[in-house]
Structure 1
Amino acid sequence: MGLIPNLLHMNPRKPSGIKEIARLAKVSIGTVDRVLHNRKGVAASTRARVLRIIEQTGYTKNITASRLKLASTHRIRIAILIPEISEPWSYWRLQQNGIEKAAAELKELGVTVAYFYFDVNKPADFRKKWQKIRTADFQAVVTVPFLKKAVTQLLEEAEVHHVQVVFLDTERPLLGKACFIRQNSYDAGRVAGRLLYGLVGEQGHYLVVNLLRDAKIQINCQQREEGFRSFFKENAPHLLPQLHTLNHPLNTDELLAGVLEPFVKPERPLGIFVSSARAFMVAGALRHFPHSKTFLAGFDLNQQNIACLKKGEIHFIIHQKPEYQGYTAVKSIYNHLVHEEAPAVKVDIPIEIIVKENLPSYIHREWA
């Protein structure tokens, strides 16, 4: 009869708890939890046995009690593992603003966040910060998938320790269970190609500018350039010889102006696509060429880009809504841990185009 006698003696009107399910199935509480949340690491026969007992006993999770318990014990601890914020205009500062807004709204429900900053050029620093998180009592981590090997290790260890992982900003193929809140970088590059082609046309040249730290280009910038080039390959392949790439380490405006000079000709239109949030740096360098016919597209509403957009020095900004990304990450983790809502595998951020004329409406939005 196996488990049947135990089940027959249970009160069918009284839902069983996880401990009772584990006892009847002769498994650990952790195994029951993995089955309830559809996680890996449970044999098919064991999973079937646990699910059968759950159905027979009428188990349901008491959401209200769970929420009160989490809040009273302050168990909802979320680690934020993001790149170092070295400048006030930093894109990651905007992400952090959204994270802090969500954390403030959920504070009374037991949610706290802790920040761990890493050097994007040092995988060892990322791994070191992750180990600190892993050995502490965090239920979730919000991070970015820039460093593929280090992130793959994080996913493997997070699965073992039942830590939910949410990635911001960028998506890349990874082994393991991952949730992404990001804009499609490839499609954003294609949109930038369409925008600049509409202004520059057939007679001009085109330039992709990747502003780098330590000569390394991030995966999202690579994807954007691939999308930009694909637009011309499909729609104006004869212009590909006139499409160039400039990989330039971050430096002063004067040095950047020097490397831009060969591409800037007064008699020839030039469309420049900056693959990051630093379009304002290129705009500053272009002030050395006041008579050029140059059109500039980049990403994100930091204060420097906003100022350049108002002056007409930047023509298009592709908005990634970084505050909304950070806010959504914390909210989705809370809903998953407390309300048992299945986390979205992907949250797509729309590709919104901002120009000088519609800028005021974005500045006054909650998520500008």
Structure 2
Amino acid sequence: MKKYTIKDIAQLAGVSKGTVDRVLHKRGKVSEIALEKVTKILNEIEYKPNPIAKNLKINKIYKLAVILPDAQKDSYWEPCSGAIKEVENEFQHFGIEINKFVFDASETSSFLETSLNVITTKPDAILMVPLFQKEAKEIVTKCNINNIKVSVFNNYIDSNYSNNFIGQDLYQSGRVAAKLMDMVLKKGTIGIVHIDEDYQNATHLQEKEKGFRSYFNSLNTLDYDITTIHLNYKKSESFNNSLLSFLDKNPNINGIFVTISKSYVVVEALKERASDIAIVGYDLVKKNIDYLKQGEIDFLIHQKPKQQVYMGLSYLAEYFLFDKEIPSQLLLPLDIVTSENVDGYLM
């Protein structure tokens, strides 16, 4: 296919090069007649602009901010830094600047303060984890007012606030966890364990529990009882006592579904007594992997935080550089990890 220059288009349309330039870059005034002539030729030759050349010429720096929980306090988020580095390297010659901001995932005020500070840096876009729904909506509203594009990952947020989500179907992941538990137990009492987060403000926990319960409700059987507990791990001794007390009150529990990445703390608490409780949880943090290999955890569902951040930032970069549309929702597969296949995820 022939490459047409502005000079070629001007000659074909019978107008000046300046007129073609103004039409292509949508700047300055152009008469209706001239606009029709140029547009007709552009359609005939199926003209497509070169986005790379365009952005090199503009020489603009696009600032992307990533807001996520502090990996020093929750190792689930550690792989995200690697994803940020990868995207920085891939787009280093195209004027993409990425800055990471972290907050304490156990403190709503930390999320709010960090996010407000990010807005003051005036980024072009923010990729964030809306861990706290109420506060996240406030932040997205402020971003919209300040013309800052927002994409979210890992957790849902109401589509009225942000219509760009990368992550997993959390409801379906709860159903998958239930199916795995059903395969192991066949019958019994199951405890759903939520750790550290404000359940009423945590849509991701709610969706996982809804999916889990939905699966067993659909079985139409009396073979299972399901009960829920909310625990705080800030003090491990208090956590252990609370969990063991919960088990004392529910002595028939033979399965536990842990809705976040801290399955290992449940395993460690259970070491204080002899038990044969099946555990299904999330995420390939080191201690979870160790206990999975030892048979203390039966299954883990891999949420792929690194892939979520990599894709989220890549989509934002390509949106600004090349005018590519960002998918409103990108759902990643639900990978079931066992002691037999976990090494393949660690390569």
Alpha-carbon separation, structure 1, partners of 2:115 and 2:49: 31
> CA distance change for structure 1 residues 325 and 85 in 2, over 3 Å: closer, same or farther?
same
Q: 2:72 aligns with which of 80, 83, 86?
A: 86
Q: Which residue number corresponds to residue 238 of structure 2? A: 255
Match of 2:170 in 1: 185
Secondary structure, counterpart of 1:23 in structure 2: coil
1:280 aligns with 2:264: yes
Query: For residue 53 of structure 2, what is the aligned residue in structure 1?
Result: 65
User: Corresponding residue for 1:337?
Assistant: 320
> What whole-Å deviation, never above 9, does each CA across 1:279-301 have from its counterpart, x for those lacking one?
011011111223x2210011110
Which residue in the other structure is 2:343 paired with? Answer: 360
Q: CA deviation at 1:22?
A: 4.6
Structure 2 counterpart of 1:305, from 276, 288, 294:
288
> Using the alignment, how far apart are the partners of 1:17 and 1:153 within structure 2?
40
Residue in structure 2 matched with residue 231 of structure 1 by the alignment: 215
SS at match of 1:288: coil
Alpha carbons of structure 1 residues 214 and 335: separation in structure 2 relative to 1, 3 Å: closer
- Alpha-carbon distance in 1 for matches of 2:50, 2:145: 25
Q: Deviations over 1:36-72 (max 9, x none)?
A: xxxxxxxxxxxxxxx98994684964412233246x5
Cross-structure match for 1:327: 310
For 1:104-115, list aligned pairs within 5 A: 104-115=89-100
> In the alignment, which of 292, 299, 307 is matched to residue 316 of structure 1?
299
Which stretch of the first structure deviates more once superposed, 332-341 or 102-111?
102-111
Q: Do the aligned residues in 2 keep the contact of 1:139 with 1:164 (CA within 8 Å)? A: yes
Match of 1:198 in 2: 183
Percent sequence identity is 24
Distance in structure 2 (CA, Å) of the matches to 1:56 and 1:151: 46
Which AA in structure 2 matches 1:63?
P
Q: Which position in structure 2 is the counterpart of 1:46? A: none
Counterpart CA distance in 2 for 1:68 and 1:149 is 40
Secondary structure of 2:20's match? Answer: coil
- Aligned equivalents of 1:18, 1:111: Cα separation in 2: 27
Unaligned runs of 5+ in 2: 1-12
- Conserved? CA contact 1:232–1:239, under 8 Å: no
For the residue of structure 2 that corresponds to 1:170, the secondary structure is coil
Question: Is the contact made by 1:103 and 1:330 (CA closer than 8 Å) also made in structure 2?
Answer: no
For structure 1, the 5+ residue unaligned runs are 1-7, 27-50
For residue 327 of structure 2, give the secondary structure of its aligned residue in structure 1: coil
* Cα distance, 1:121–1:169 mapped onto 2, change above 3 Å: same
Contact conserved, 2:22 with 2:30, CA < 8 A, in 1?
no
Secondary structure of the 1:175 match is coil
What is the CA–CA distance in structure 1 between the aligned matches of 2:141 and 2:39, rounded to whole Å? 31
Counterpart for residue 149 of structure 2: 164
Amino acid at match of 2:327: A
Aligned match of 1:24 in 13, 19, 29? 29
Partner SS, residue 343 of structure 1: coil
TM-score (normalised: structure 1)? 0.78
The match for 1:139 among 111, 115, 124 is: 124
Match in the other structure for 1:296: 279
Q: CA RMSD of the aligned region, Å?
A: 3.2
Shift of 1:94: 2.2
1: distance between equivalents of 2:106 and 2:278?
A: 31
Q: 1:278 to 1:267 in 2, by over 3 A?
A: closer
Q: C-alpha separation between the residues in 2 aligned to 1:107 and 1:363? A: 27
Query: 1:190 Cα deviation (Å)?
Result: 0.5
3-state DSSP of counterpart to 2:136: helix
Question: Does 1:271 pair with 2:276?
Answer: no
Q: Secondary structure at the match of 2:21?
A: coil
Code of the residue aligned with 1:208 in structure 2: it is I
